[in-house]
Structure 1
Amino acid sequence: MIEYLKKVKELLQFFKESEFVHISRGLNKKTDALRKLAPMAFDHLAKDVKVETIKQPSIMDVAVANIEAPGENWMAPILRYLQEGIVPEDRQEARRLQIRALQYEVIEGTL
């Protein structure tokens, strides 16, 4: 748990504000049931019950680089359409762009 706490504190630096709310076990029954299952051995279960045991933590220190290629990329037409309403001259391409753009939102100039 210490590693998870470190990761949370590291990620909190990227937020302007945050809020943590304690949820009692009584209100979080599914999670509490999983917590009780964790230390159990599952050898006695029937073969049709699938249980996955995770052998390594779900957090790893992975380096991620933000890469922007020079010139236009796949996001440029979507961004142009959402910000300025500009669509390609080809009707089919324009329609595809309009449909595809429904999946995105521009927040502070970023797609």
Structure 2
Amino acid sequence: MVEYLKKVKELMQSFEEAEVLHISRGLNKKADGLSKLASVAFDHLAKDVKVETLSQPSIAEGVVTSVEVQEESWMTPILLYLREGVVPENKQEAQRLRIRALQ
């Protein structure tokens, strides 16, 4: 969503005047329907929302930059666990690591 917001702000600069208003979902059935699409089947929304499935994102995907850290950091144990399955010998620390890796 951040990329879409950037795109909107960029496009708004090409207008002499533009205004963005927040309308609560209770006052906007279409927006409320759209907000539910990610979590429910949308057959029942056909009256309120026109659904179109896009084969590609409507904005260009961002560039992903790889960062390598030479020294150990708080991420090192998580990366070792995710890449190689290495966990600490202490069972409590191993469990904490698994939980952090999931997050």
Relative to the length of structure 2, the TM-score reads 0.41
- Structure showing the higher helix proportion among its residues: 2
- Between structure 1 and structure 2, the one with the greater Rg is 1
Relative to the length of structure 1, the TM-score reads 0.38
